[in-house]
Structures are given as structure tokens and as C-alpha cells.
Amino acid sequence: MGKLLGPATRDRGTWRNRPPQSPRPRAWGGEGNYHHGRWPFHPLMATRPSVFDALCSHIDELEQLPPGAEVLAQNELCAVQALAVELPSGSILFGTQYHPEFTLSVAAGLIEMRAADLVAEGFGRDCAELVAMARDFRALHAEPERRDLAWRYGVSPEILEPVRRTAEIGNWLREAAKISST
């Protein structure tokens, strides 16, 4: 969300980087997100179920909502996982903290790049274990029918199926097309 919202909300919201000693852990992997607000009626979340999984990788979070913001999704690790902000121009800006654009292959690369940090934070016993997990994520990305790997890592259809994983992107494009045709 930082990349999407940074310039638009710099003076309206407050960001913080969760310090390493924070009692709240890094948000990592596939986590459950819970709709909030006007769900299921908000266009960004229109095709999502009330509870869904999404790939994520973040330490930063929004501490204070900017004026006109509506929380669209949240979970126990982050109170703002998706939001909509009405800008002074009247347009609406949507953002997600989780990553609907990530594939399991992207997640595998991040796991490998951050293996030492993830071990230090308790996400694995050693780097070799995380590298094996990354290998399994790539295999599952290549063969999404591998129920053994999906079950082992708790990877749901919301992550495995591209249309479901990228629901917010598709919903946003549909809304943009409606606006441009008026």
C-alpha cells in the first residue's frame, strides 16, 4: 500500500515501520484477511468472499487513516489490509497492504532473498528449510493441482487461482472502465 498510497496520503495519514522488537510480527506468507466496512458492496472487494487468504510481505503499516478513508479488509496482524480513500479531487484511490499481484513464484524469490531474516524472526529453523519451502512454492506455482503441497503449506484456492488471487485488480479495472465510459 505504501507504493500506491505514499504520495497521495503523505500529509493525511501516518505510516510507521514496525520496529524489530515490536510485539506484532512481520506479516508474511498467506494470511487470512477479513472484510470490514461496506463489504460486499464496495467495488474493490465485490468478488472476494468475506474471509480470504492473500500473499503478503510487509513490516510497514498505516497507523492513522487519512480523512475520507474506509478500511475494506483487515486481519489480526494489520488493522488496514485494504482501503479506499476519497481524494480532494473527488476521485477514489484504492490500495492493498497484501499483494494480489504476487504469485507463489514471487513469494519463493522473496523467501530466498530474506531467508536469514526470516529465520531470525522465527519463520523457519534454518535457511535450508526456507529454501526447500521456496522450491515447493515454485513447484506449486507450476503445478497448482498439487494438493499435497497446497495442503502442506495451507495454500488456498484464493492464492492458487489467478483470477481469484487478483480479484482487487480485476475489480478496480472494471470500475475504471465504467468511469471512463461515462
pLDDT tens-digit series, residues 8-52: 333 334 334 444 444 555 555 655 666 655 555 788 888 888 888
Mean pLDDT of the chain, nearest integer: 81
Residues 96, 27, single domain; the answer is: yes
Q: Can you name the residues that pair with 34 across neighbouring β-strands?
A: 51, 74
Which segments of 25-126 does DSSP mark as H helices, in order? 104-113, 115-120
Residues 72, 6, single domain; the answer is: yes
User: CB within 8 A of 159, min separation 6: which ones?
Assistant: 30, 53, 54, 55, 104, 165
- Which domain, by its residues, includes 133? 104-158
How many CA atoms are closer than 13 Å to the CA of 15, on its beta-carbon side?
Answer: 16
Residues 41, 91, single domain; the answer is: yes
What does the alpha-carbon distance between residue 83 and residue 94 come to, in Å, rounded to a whole number?
6
User: Does residue 182 belong to any structural domain of this protein?
Assistant: no
Residue 32, pLDDT score: 62
What does the alpha-carbon distance between residue 113 and residue 144 come to, in Å, rounded to a whole number?
23
Residues 12, 85, single domain; the answer is: yes
Residues 124, 154, single domain; the answer is: yes
pLDDT bracket for residue 175 (50, 70, 90): confident
Residues 90, 124, single domain; the answer is: no
pLDDT tens-digit series, residues 87-132: 888 888 888 889 999 999 999 999 999 999 999 999 999 999 999 9
Residues 7, 74, single domain; the answer is: yes
Backbone angles phi, psi at 75, to 5 degrees: -155, -175
